[in-house]
A and B are shown apart, each in its own frame.
Chain A
Amino acid sequence: MRHVLEGSHAVSEAVRLARTQVISAYPITPQTHIVEQLSEYCANGTLDARFLRVESEHSALAALIGAASSGVRTFTATSSQGLALMHELLHWASGARLPIVMAQVNRAMAPGWNIWADQTDSLAQRDTGWVQFYCENGQEVLDTTIQAFRLAEWVNLPVMVNLDAFFLSHTYEPVDVPDQKSVDSFLPPYKPRFQLDLANPCAFNQLAPPNIYMEMRHNIQMAMDEAFTFFEQMEEEFDTILGRRHGSVEAIRCDDAEVILITSGTVTSTSRQVVANLREKGEKVGLLKIKLFRPFPVNLLRELTKPASKIAVIDRNFSFGASGIFAQEVKAALCNFPGHPPVYGYVAGLGGRDITTEVIEDIYWLTKNSTAPENESSWVGLREVDHAVGQS
Chain B
Amino acid sequence: MAAQQTPTNRTPLLIPCSYLTTEGNKTGSWRFLRPRYEEKTSPCSAACPAGEDIGRVEMLTAQGSFKEAWETVMMENPFPGVCGRVCYHPCEQQCNRREFDEPVAIHSLERFLADTASRYELQLSLQKLESKKQKIAVVGSGPSGLAAGYFLTLLGYQADIFEALPEPGGVLRWGIPLYRLPLSILNREIAQIRELGVQIHCGKSILQEFWRGGKSEYDAIFLGCGHSRSLPLKISGEDLAGVKDGLQFLADIRRGEVSALDGTAAVIGGGNTAVDTARSAARFGAKVILIYRRRRQDMPAFAEEVEMALEEGVELWELQTPVNIAAQDGDFVVTLQHTHVIGKDGQRKARVKPDSNKKKEIRVQHLFKAIGAEAGETWHDPPKKTRGMLGLSNCVLLHKSREPTLVYGGDLVADIKSVAHAVASGKQAAIALDILFHEGLDAVRPRLQSCLVAEGPSISWETYIGGPRSLRNQRVVRYSDLNTDYFQFAPMMIQPRLLPEERFQSFAEINLKIGASLAIREAERCFNCGLCNQCDNCHLFCPEIAVTRDNNPRGRHINYDYCKGCGLCVVECPRNAMILEEELLCDTS
Contacts and interface: CB of A to CB of B under 8 A. Distances in A.
A96 B15 contact: yes
Identify whether the interface residues of B are mostly helix, strand, loop, or mixed. loop
A256 B12 CA distance: 40
Given A182-B1, A188-B4, A241-B1, A204 B11 contact: no
Residue among B11, B16, B17, B18 with the highest chain A CB neighbour number at 10 A: B11
B535 interface: no
B11 A226 contact: yes
Interface residues of A, number: 30
A215 B16 CA distance: 11
A97 B4 contact: no
Given A202-B18, A204-B17, A241-B1, A223 B6 contact: no
A300 to B, nearest CB: 21
Interface stretch (A56-64, A205-213, A324-332): A205-213
B342 interface: no
Nearest to B18: A203
Contacts of A156: 11, 13
B19 interface: yes
Contacts of A154: 9, 11
A101 B78 CA distance: 67
B585 interface: no
B14 interface: yes
A240 interface: yes
B328 interface: no
Contact of B14 (A206, A215, A226): A215
B241 interface: no
B22 interface: yes
A226 B18 contact: no
B10 to A, nearest CB: 8
Contacts of A230: 11
A336 B58 CA distance: 79
A383 interface: no
A260 interface: no
B17 A219 contact: no
Interface in A130-176: 154-156
A212 B1 CA distance: 44
Interface in A203-245: 203-208, 212, 215-216, 219, 222-223, 226, 230, 240-241
Given A154-B9, A193-B9, A203-B22, A185 B15 contact: no
B235 interface: no
Nearest to B20: A203
Given A154-B9, A188-B6, A203-B22, A216 B1 contact: no
Contacts of B2: 240-241
Contacts of A223: 11-13
A208 B199 CA distance: 80
Given A95-B15, A200-B19, A223-B12, 13 more contacts: A96-B15, A182-B1, A194-B13, A201-B19, A202-B17, A202-B18, A203-B17, A205-B17, A215-B14, A219-B12, A222-B12, A226-B11, A226-B12
Interface of B: 1-2, 4, 6, 9, 11-19, 22
